[in-house]
């Protein structure tokens, strides 16, 4: 699973890498690195099917490139994973809403520069605890058929084990794949925390994380999907955070459990 895993190794210090490997926390951001991050085992979405999905892009020497996913909270804020914003500055960060095909300009896209990056105060980059952040936009989004806010859970609202959830993104389609042009979607069931503890170890998975995936593997988020939405029964219950590899048997994807942070989101995203 990534920040999705291998991507990270390039930029982390050796000590941080050792700690990450030890904790198996491989974030799933799309910062070029050795491994991968995309939706695995999914199918193409349709334009406007997920109007809350955004692409978070870094502006470099050669223009903007997709780095992470995110979800529209309201006209002025997008929620994503904190690890996506590590070492980023608002002036080089853009949110693209209404996007579907990265290679084609449909006219529905809204490209807005970030004005402020709000990372959770207790975010731990090594263990990926509290892996949640907000991006304040420099100008408001226009809501329409292609761009709309996601429904947030109530504080501490539980999602039942076995609930089917949809994860979306432009990340890798397999562990050593490449980014997708089209927005992809995959359905995965919520996995019992105890099963997740068994695979990753009890200290790696804390209550404010949610695991999802199928035992046989083959369906998961991957590199480049980090920060993107996991929506269960119409509600944003998860944010793509990390995993071990992508879609490996017995290793579910790990998500930030949004219900733990509803009050934090409300406090920091007042329009």
Which residues 6+ apart lie within 8 Å of 197 measured at CB? 205
Which residues 6+ apart lie within 8 Å of 213 measured at CB? 188, 189, 191, 219, 220, 243, 247, 251, 252, 253
Which positions are catalytic?
83, 131, 226
Q: What is the pLDDT of residue 113?
A: 99
- Cα 212 from chain centroid (whole Å): 13
Three-state secondary structure call for residue 88:
coil
Query: Are 205 and 238 a contacting pair, CB within 8 Å?
Result: no
Among 12-21, 60-69, 148-157, name the one with the lowest average pLDDT. Answer: 12-21
Q: What is the pLDDT of residue 204?
A: 95
Three-state secondary structure call for residue 242:
strand
Q: Indicate the pLDDT class of residue 194, thresholds 50, 70 and 90.
A: very high
Q: Indicate the pLDDT class of residue 26, thresholds 50, 70 and 90.
A: low
Q: Indicate the pLDDT class of residue 19, thresholds 50, 70 and 90.
A: very low
The rounded mean pLDDT for the chain is 88
Greater confidence (271 vs 64) lies with 64
Q: Is the pLDDT of residue 16 over 80?
A: no
Of 218, 233, 211, the C-alpha closest to 39 is 218
CA angle 210, 214, 218 (to 5 degrees): 115
Token pair for 139: 């100008």
Q: What is the pLDDT of residue 104?
A: 93
pLDDT one-digit tens code per residue, 226-266: 999 999 999 999 999 999 989 999 999 999 999 999 999 99
pTM of the model: 0.87
Residues 3-29 have a mean pLDDT of 42
Buried b (16+ CB within 10 A) or exposed e, 30-39: bbebebbbbb
């Amino acid at each position: 699973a990534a920040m999705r895993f291998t991507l990270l190794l390039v930029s982390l210090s050796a000590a941080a890498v050792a700690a990450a490997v030890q904790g198996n926390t491989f974030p799933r951001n799309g910062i070029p690195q050795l491994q991968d991050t995309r939706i695995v085992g999914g199918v193409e979405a349709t334009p406007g099917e997920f109007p809350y999905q955004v692409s978070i892009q870094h502006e470099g020497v050669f223009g903007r490139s997709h780095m992470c996913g995110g979800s529209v909270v309201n006209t002025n804020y997008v929620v994503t994973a904190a690890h996506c914003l590590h070492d980023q500055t608002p002036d080089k960060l853009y949110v693209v809403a209404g996007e579907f095909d990265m290679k084609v300009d449909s006219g529905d896209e809204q490209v807005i520069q970030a004005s402020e990056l709000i990372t959770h105060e207790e975010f731990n980059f090594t263990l990926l605890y509290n892996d949640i952040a907000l991006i304040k936009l420099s100008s408001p989004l226009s809501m329409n058929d292609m761009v709309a806010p996601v429904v947030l859970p109530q504080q501490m609202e539980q999602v039942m084990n076995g609930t089917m959830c949809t994860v979306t993104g432009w990340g890798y389609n397999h562990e050593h794949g490449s980014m997708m042009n089209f927005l992809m979607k995959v359905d995965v069931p919520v996995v019992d925390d105890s099963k997740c503890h068994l695979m990753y170890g009890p200290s790696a998975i804390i209550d404010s994380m949610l695991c999802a995936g199928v035992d046989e593997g083959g369906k998961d988020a991957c590199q480049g999907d980090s920060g993107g939405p996991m929506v269960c029964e119409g509600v944003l219950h998860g944010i793509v955070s990390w995993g071990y590899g992508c879609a490996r048997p017995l290793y579910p994807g790990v998500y930030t459990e949004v219900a733990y942070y509803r009050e934090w989101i409300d406090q920091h995203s007042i329009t």
